[in-house]
Amino acid sequence: MTDWLWEYEGYRPEEERLREALCTVGNGVFATRGAAPEATASDAHYPGTYAAGCYNRLVSEVAGRQVENEDAVNLPNWLPLRFRTHSDEPWWTPDADAPLEYRQTLDLRAGTLSRTMLVQDREGRRLRVRQCRLVHLGDPHLAALRTTFTAEGWSGSVEVESALDGDVRNEGVARYRALAGQHLTGLSTGVTADGDVWLRCRTTQSAITVALAARTRVSVDTATTGTDLGESRASTLLTVPLADGVPASVDKTVALHTSRDRAISDPLHAARDRVARAAEFPVLLSSHRHAWDRVWRRTELSVPGEAGRILRLHLFHVLQTLSPHTAGLDAGVPARGLHGEAYRGHVFWDELFVLPFLNLHLPEVSRALLSYRHRRLPAACRAADDAGRRGAMFPWQSGSDGREETQTLHLNPRSGRWLPDHSHLQHHVGSAVAYNVWQYCQATGDTDFLHDEGAETLLQVARFWADAATWDAGEGRYRIRGVVGPDEYHEAYPLADTPGIDDNAYTNVTAAWVLARALELMRNLPAPRLAELTEQLALDTAERDRWEDVSRKLRVPFHAGVISQFEGYGELAELDWDAYRDRYGDIRRMDRILESEGDSVNHYQVSKQADALMLGYLFSPAELTALFRRLGYPMDDALWQRTVDHYLRRTSHGSTLSGLVHAWVLARARRPGAWEFAQEALRGDVADIQGGTTEEGIHLGAMAGTLDLVQRGLTGLEAREDALWLDPAPLPELSGFGFSVRYRGYWGVRIQLRDGTLHVGLPRSAQAPVHFVVPGRTFTVPPGESRRVELSEPAPAPTESPAESPVREGRLTDGLADC
């Protein structure tokens, strides 16, 4: 492998689904898993194509109840291309006839997936096959596949079927397979006068029309061509003459449109017209590469070693899920990318980990993703009203229209039991939306957005928190009850009849932050706009006074000299970590283990992922201290360090986000152990450390978060107060790194950290100088100039593992030891 190539040698059925997820190619509008063109859904393979924002609802019977779920739809498969050397032989598949040679190569720079293999038919004749596919980054409705056949030691012909297949279901996640998955109906097929085949269908409930058209051409003039049209499959049939050692290519070009697309009258007409006008494969490949070149330049990141290779792969998957084309879509941040069906393609809080990176590279994409939330602000207000609250209560899981999509039941695969799901009580997602609005506007200076959509969103979230807070006269504090925190494990108190816990520290502190920012925003709004908003929202002085009061008097619980994750956390039993590690080995999902034993995680001081420590991810030490001071609580380094130690010993890391947040928190606190957690975050998907989850879709938040760990976590980069603030906390395991960002009209602000020296530089332009703030000094850099700053504080010494962490030592170091 090289810095830009990911290669997989040999055909291994047990690894195919993981490879398919990691070899997905896409352009932000749609993406296709890296399944082999001849593959159909099986235990080893799962072809899947998903379009951003394309959802459908189905009703299933679960445990005797009717349950409705909305899913991102697996669209008709455009890939099918199979071959054989005799008409009386079955079509070749690697599962029936093992290839003699087999290699897959994902080219990140070019955005292509290639496959080279040598196969042998039943008469011993060898055929070399080379394939290259792309989902075009320049034209977001085109995809293409070139297949080149070369006979080795014989001459004859090869039969080829190039097809569009509409006989697909959503069945890529094993625990969902008992649920309804037939999302497509009304299939029809046809062929144009030019011989291009097409397929049209629609989703059963959302009535989205989907149309594909495929043009298949062969490089050999003497090839024969025909078509075969079925109800759900449209095929072009070819017989391609082969001469010994002479390559013959079959080029398949596909156009995909849905009725959600802009500037079309009919998806089928658009697909047929687009594929008819599409350039030939070499031209498409060239323009596709140029489009990727432009995007790579805008997201430049230079990190040495194996860590750099993995970060580049992460960036590739972020960019093909959320590309420049996303700016023109009504779509959110799918937690598992456009790479599979886990989490049903829903939008959670992952944008909290994604947008900070995009803000400084593709801000127009960030703005579009925030507009997705704003368009669903009325739905969030209706949800709050239904719950007896004012303001906006954003859903924990969002899809097409902004209603709550969280399942009411979830399956524990360890016990086989369907259990109530209360994760919809994670109302902190609203604070994430508000935080993203604020951070985007700080990074971009986009006051138009802040004063318009941003203000409406932020103020309605603030209104919700002020209304959700209830006064406790005995405590002399406001309290927020009946929620679930980021930990996700603790959904209720032991033996409680109702779900939810009280005064989750993360929820309360972020609610206080939202209220403070809302008040700050109102103080700074232009008077006419403030008058509009106060009239539009019926926001009077009394309500603003309550916001001020709540923002200063929300309760934060403490126990044993640390921040309590929630009220009563310190009274829960301690878990015998060593006993469970010895018994189960992998104890990341302690919730499933304990439930299968007839116990509950609600009884124990054990967290799935960072909860209280998330405060150190969102806020710098100075900000966090100011927040606690505003709330009337002490906060100093000693308290924070004790809190970090406390939860390090009590977290099972059952989420890919956990390693990321812990790496960030430890790095910012200049603590040893950050690198091990960084390794876990880096290897989360490439090594599938969660045990079979990556094949269902990559973890987009964790991937983007690792990029932001380098961009902001290790540099302390913040865009605020009309300046770029830097407070580097380098890791000794990374010898040096650099990147460029886009900041308020500047394209290509360069930041480099190496050997204790910070280097910043600006490209030539007519812009004003940029102000930089580093600990103990402030300086200005004019366009076309640079500045070097020597860092006085040394980095912490390398270490292998954080003290007393429940993660086993050595588990995460394989393959990254030399970074």
How far is residue 402 from each of residues 249, 259, 373, 410, 764, measured CA to CA in Å?
Answer: 46, 20, 8, 21, 44
Where does 166-298 show beta strands of DSSP type E? 184-191, 197-203, 209-218, 224-229, 233-242, 248-258
DSSP structural state of residue 611: S
| Active site members | 488
Question: Of the candidates 687, 734, 697, which has an alpha carbon nearest to the alpha carbon of residue 713?
Answer: 734
Residues composing the chain: 819
Question: Of the candidates 11, 367, 307, 342, which has an alpha carbon nearest to the alpha carbon of residue 171?
Answer: 342
Whose structure tokens read 């609610």?
Answer: 511
Sheet bearing 81-84, strands edge to edge: 81-84, 156-165, 233-242, 224-229
CA dihedral (552, 557, 562, 563) positive or negative: negative
C-beta of residue 170 within 8 angstroms of C-beta of residue 178 = no
Separation between Cα atoms, residue 428 and residue 740, nearest integer Å: 32
Exposed / middle / buried, residue 241 (Cβ in 10 Å: 0-12, 13-18, 19+): middle
DSSP codes of every residue in 649-679: TTB---SHHHHHHHHHHHHHTT-TTHHHHHH
User: Quick one: tokens of 745?
Assistant: 């009209």
C-beta of residue 213 within 8 angstroms of C-beta of residue 198 = yes
Q: Mapping DSSP to helix (H, G, I), strand (E, B) and coil, where does residue 593 land?
A: helix
**Number of C-beta neighbours around residue 330 at 10 A:** 15
Task: Give me the half-sphere count of Cα atoms (radius 13 Å) on the Cβ side of residue 17.
Answer: 22
How far is residue 403 from each of residues 379, 383, 419, 423, 424, measured CA to CA in Å?
Answer: 6, 7, 22, 14, 11
Q: Which residues pair with 558 in a beta bridge?
A: 563
How far is residue 374 from each of residues 165, 428, 511, measured CA to CA in Å?
Answer: 37, 17, 19
User: Quick one: tokens of 445?
Assistant: 């200076």
Alpha-helix residue ranges (DSSP H) falling in 120-259: none
Question: Of the candidates 542, 721, 526, which has an alpha carbon nearest to the alpha carbon of residue 623?
Answer: 721
Q: Mapping DSSP to helix (H, G, I), strand (E, B) and coil, where does residue 49 land?
A: strand
User: Quick one: tokens of 50?
Assistant: 């998903």
How far is residue 370 from each of residues 329, 450, 453, 457, 501, measured CA to CA in Å?
Answer: 11, 11, 9, 9, 29
Instruction: Please give, one letter per residue, the 3-state secondary structure of 118-155.
Output: EEECCCCCEEEEEEEEEECCCCCCEEEEEEEEEEECCC
User: Quick one: tokens of 171?
Assistant: 């069945």
Separation between Cα atoms, residue 282 and residue 179, nearest integer Å: 43
How wide is the angle at C-alpha 522 spanned by C-alphas 518 and 525, nearest 5°?
A: 130
